[in-house]
Structure 1
Amino acid sequence: MAVLKVIEVLANSDKSWEDATKNAIQKASKSVNNIKSVYVNEQSATVNNGEIDNYRVNLKITFEID
């Protein structure tokens, strides 16, 4: 029987929401093993001089406990 755990993480990127999501997974995978899925819970951005300058994501990462 598999036991799964969910953690919530926040990440950002100056390129895109997709890049922010990739950044979160890459960083989390350094300390969390057996990542099985990611759920993008929320997206937001900051604006400077009429342009988006920072993309932000709130993610739920699911991983299997050893």
Structure 2
Amino acid sequence: MANEDAWSGTVVKKSRALLDGSNLYRRVTVETDAGGTEKVRVERALWKELNVGDRLVKKPGQLARLA
């Protein structure tokens, strides 16, 4: 998803991985209100706060935030 996209949805999965072998990437899978699913990279602090079922909102030009 581009930084200019806007969406809202519900977290359905949390994951983290060492995709390049040295950096830990934290991602959540979000079921959007439009009916699709998106994998979204989030910062560590937000990832630690999130639980499956939480709502996220992304406004154009901003990072995803808890609703």
Give the TM-score normalised by the residue count of structure 1: 0.33
Relative contact order (C-alpha < 8 Å, sep 6+): which is higher?
1
Could you say which structure has the higher strand fraction? Answer: 1
Could you say which structure has the higher helix fraction? Answer: 1
